[in-house]
Amino acid sequence: MGRKGIQLKHAEVVITNESISSVSAEQQQNGEWTCFITFYNSDSMQIEEVYIEKQRDGMRTWADPRKMFDFMYTKFGITDGQFKICEHREKS
């Protein structure tokens, strides 16, 4: 199962709090954060791992992980998960 991008408007339709099996927040090499949501997609009848895409392609990231956590809670009701700090991130 590979990670794939999904537009927010589509994610809000196919991802429900009940369908989520795991969530991970990961720091990227540039120091910003993104979230990966693993869920059961009832449309494809498969487990999928996705990240939210920006409107103009590419992975949606947050400089402040607190804002990302607020987003995850507000949009999907996510209250727990795992996080991973990138060991090889750019130093400031």
**pLDDT tens readout for residues 10-25:** 999 999 888 999 999 9
In order of 56, 90, 91, the CA distances from 53 in angstroms are: 8, 22, 25
pTM of the model: 0.85
In the chain, what are the domain boundaries?
3-78
What element of type H or E holds 26? strand 20-27
Percent of the chain with pLDDT over 90: 75
**Backbone phi, then psi, for 66, in 5-degree steps?**
-65, -40
